Structure 1
Amino acid sequence: MKKKQKLLSLFLGIVLVVSVLSGGCDYLSQPINSDNTDSTSTPIDADWTFPTPQQNLPELANYAMVVAMVKPAVVAVDVEYITQDIFGRQTVAVASGSGFIIDPSGYIITNNHVVEGGSTVTVTLSDGRTFTASQVVTDSRTDLAVIKVDTLGEDLPFVYIGDSSALEVGEPVAAIGNALGLGITMKGGWISRLDAQITVDQSVTLYGLIGTDVAINEGNSGGPLVNMAGEVIGITSAKIAEVGVEGVGYAININSARTFIEELVKKGYITRPFMGVAGILTVDSSIQSYFRLGIDRGVLIRGVSEGGPAEKAGLMANDVILAINGQPVLTDEELILAIHGKKIGDKIEVSYFRDGVTATVTLTLAETPPPES
């Protein structure tokens, strides 16, 4: 039987986004699209800052020491959902995931897909203490969420943050989380790939992921991926499995996530560089024929946002973008990556084709409009 690769459940889903960190490209989904309805949260604290990464923590001798260090700050996340049966009767369903405490005052990181749509979110520490979320901020494009709990004056254990840019293929790591909803457990392995990308569905491709051979199961989502110093270097998110092949796990790298998490807490949504074009399509022979284009390469834009950067620069629906800052873009993914790593306010040179003529305009990237309340 022919082997068929498939993306497993992603433990309720996963999506990511563009990063503007100094290290360059990280990950993104559709930052150039005008739709920004993915972030719908209310801010928690405008003055909160993400914890500073640790410097030169010593490596521990074995996994047992890593678990002893990290496990107290890893939580089981239980989410209640109100569902309706075919007769219209409401019932309560419960799903489980993982998270980890990054601030002793009660800030917990997890995945958006772990808490999305939940009516009640409860976290349980490994010592048995349980807290109900007072607020949850989420962003589906990054698949990130922050749970805030009222600690009632208790100082909670917390993880140390590492530097994911220093990772190397072959480095040992551990995933700690609420695997299969059975409580906090650990699986060890190695980093097998850096800057990985996977396609979740037709509209979302994930970039900048950490690939690992650590065995990841449903319920691990939102838990920490840690190095041998016990530092969090990733957020466990998804698993790809192929028939007859051992599963490959993926995690969001913490360097990318930190900027987004801080914005979520401060603003309730994530700002993104905004080009103001929508409905992008890679031009191939079928697209060329269907839209009767006079060119067989580039990226077709099907629309522009009213008053957005593209419209202001003179771009129009059905223009074909050929290059950004002189670098050819041949696919929709390449166009996304060309914006990837740019900052709000950056000026870019966009070469395009229209009605048999090639021209270039200067476009200033804006901030993606906040979601409507």
Structure 2
Amino acid sequence: MAERTRYILATLILVTLTLGIITCPPPATPTSDPSQVDSLPQHTDPDWTFPLQGEQATPLPDFRPVVAQVMPSVVSVTTEMVLSDFFGRQYTEYVTGSGILIDDEGYITTNNHVVENAQSIYVELVDGRTFPANIVGTDALSDLAVIRIDATDLPYAYLGDSSLLSLGQWVLAIGNALGEGIIVTQGIVSRLNVSVNVEGNTLYGLIQTTAAINPGNSGGPLVNLSGEVIGITSVKIVAPEVEGMGFAISSDEAKPIIQALIRYGHVTYPWLGVALYTVTPSLAAAMDLPVDSGAFIVELIADSPADAAGLSVGDVIIRFGNREIDDVGDLVQAIRTSQVGEEVEIAFIRGEDINTTSARLVERPAS
């Protein structure tokens, strides 16, 4: 999402409507037939008024207290990268993004793609102060990163519980949109637990929102009307005829990753060792599967936990531990919330039969 400002030339097309004027003879003078009027049904009501007339309509929420509470914790992030062109000549490129102060000791969460390959990072607070920042840890799989500035007694935001969100709930996106400074947009939660593939890496558990998210918003907060950060803006679908499809990493997905980055500088993921497709009715029909949901194994890594557990290509995983598996996202999230070394019971379908096995998860190999 963090990228150089794009300028879009909008072409205004003026359409001229030509109106034809038709003259008509004057209508005949209407006549009144008292007997006809008296025979009409009596549906009139002399006391009728418009609904809600004289009553106070429910006002829209006032976003100003939320903005005043959260905005001091939102920062602008500028990264400097040294790149090489086709001829090997080096040049400097600057990328803008956003970040969130998450404690008073200078820890800031942002997106991995904002700070990836940065030679230097600078953070500007809303009060105008600017600090150099150091990378604490990054995680490409979740597109999250933590950086830190050398400052104390800073305002910071609270990460709320994204599992309490519901469709239609008001939210605000705050960030350094287009590198123009901290900007606020409002919208609603339009979808939950969304998976989006970004350049070959799938992000899971995303919140879709109608709040405008633009280049530079990446890493900024999506907040509820209690002023809690319930998402970290990350992705926007850009395509013709597409509007209002921005996504944020849910706070529940982000919190354990942020904590691991601050404690250890990296994230350790459990690993099963399979490649998967989500079972859909069309896939079930094509592969003659007895179920129309689950995670279909299309590849199995030799000597992986899945291999040791006796799983095979063509099996459909329908339960992992205590979690029912309807799609690939369910299984990925179930694995990521498990522990390295944990032994997990797996229910799967092979042919027409439901089977169970156990797999002991190991640390995900470095890619």
**CA drift at 1:66:** 1.8
Match of 2:191 among 183, 190, 193: 193
Work out whether 1:98 is the aligned partner of 2:98: yes
Work out whether 1:67 is the aligned partner of 2:67: yes
Match of 1:312 among 308, 311, 336: 308
Match of 1:183 among 181, 186, 191: 181
3-state SS, counterpart of residue 88 of structure 1: coil
3-state SS, counterpart of residue 81 of structure 1: strand
**CA drift at 1:148:** 1.4
Query: Could you say which residue in structure 1 is the equivalent of 2:229?
Result: 232
Query: Could you say which residue in structure 2 is the equivalent of 1:364?
Result: 359
Matches within 5 A, 1:105-120: 105-120=105-120
Distance in 2 (alpha carbons) for counterparts of 1:249 and 1:359: 39
Matches within 5 A, 1:119-268: 119-151=119-151, 154-201=152-199, 203-268=200-265
Distance in 1 (alpha carbons) for counterparts of 2:308 and 2:169: 48
Distance in 2 (alpha carbons) for counterparts of 1:190 and 1:179: 18
**CA drift at 1:227:** 1.4
3-state SS, counterpart of residue 64 of structure 2: helix
**CA drift at 1:86:** 2.4
3-state SS, counterpart of residue 142 of structure 1: coil
Distance in 2 (alpha carbons) for counterparts of 1:359 and 1:233: 38
Distance in 2 (alpha carbons) for counterparts of 1:142 and 1:213: 22
The one-letter code of the counterpart of 1:141 is L
Work out whether 1:322 is the aligned partner of 2:313: no
Distance in 2 (alpha carbons) for counterparts of 1:328 and 1:225: 29
Q: Which has the higher contact order (CA 8 A, sep 6+)?
A: 1
C-alpha contact (below 8 Å) 2:300/2:306 kept by paired residues: no
**CA drift at 1:231:** 1.5
Change over 3 Å in CA distance of 1:296–1:247 after alignment to 2: same
Distance in 2 (alpha carbons) for counterparts of 1:100 and 1:112: 13
C-alpha contact (below 8 Å) 2:297/2:316 kept by paired residues: no
3-state SS, counterpart of residue 165 of structure 1: helix
What's the C-alpha RMSD, in Å, of the aligned pairs? Answer: 3.3
Distance in 1 (alpha carbons) for counterparts of 2:271 and 2:118: 30
C-alpha contact (below 8 Å) 1:269/1:370 kept by paired residues: no
Work out whether 1:271 is the aligned partner of 2:265: no
Work out whether 1:348 is the aligned partner of 2:362: no
Change over 3 Å in CA distance of 1:159–1:325 after alignment to 2: closer
C-alpha contact (below 8 Å) 1:271/1:367 kept by paired residues: no
Percentage of identical aligned residues: 43
Q: Gaps (5+ residues) in structure 2? A: 4-59, 290-294
C-alpha contact (below 8 Å) 2:81/2:120 kept by paired residues: yes
C-alpha contact (below 8 Å) 1:322/1:328 kept by paired residues: no
Alignment TM-score, normalising by the size of structure 1: 0.70
Distance in 1 (alpha carbons) for counterparts of 2:252 and 2:276: 29
Distance in 1 (alpha carbons) for counterparts of 2:329 and 2:75: 36
**CA drift at 1:139:** 0.4
Point out the structure with max Rg over C-alpha. Answer: 2
Count of aligned pairs? 301
The one-letter code of the counterpart of 1:109 is T
3-state SS, counterpart of residue 260 of structure 1: helix
**CA drift at 1:147:** 0.4
C-alpha contact (below 8 Å) 2:204/2:329 kept by paired residues: no
C-alpha contact (below 8 Å) 2:207/2:250 kept by paired residues: yes
The one-letter code of the counterpart of 1:192 is S
Distance in 1 (alpha carbons) for counterparts of 2:325 and 2:188: 35
Query: Could you say which residue in structure 2 is the equivalent of 1:40?
Result: none
Change over 3 Å in CA distance of 1:269–1:182 after alignment to 2: same
The one-letter code of the counterpart of 2:228 is E
3-state SS, counterpart of residue 161 of structure 1: coil
Q: Gaps (5+ residues) in structure 1? A: 1-9, 13-59, 289-294
3-state SS, counterpart of residue 244 of structure 2: strand
**CA drift at 1:143:** 0.7
1:160-179 Cα shifts (integer Å, max 9, x gaps): 22221222222221111100
3-state SS, counterpart of residue 205 of structure 1: strand
C-alpha contact (below 8 Å) 1:283/1:296 kept by paired residues: no
The one-letter code of the counterpart of 2:237 is I
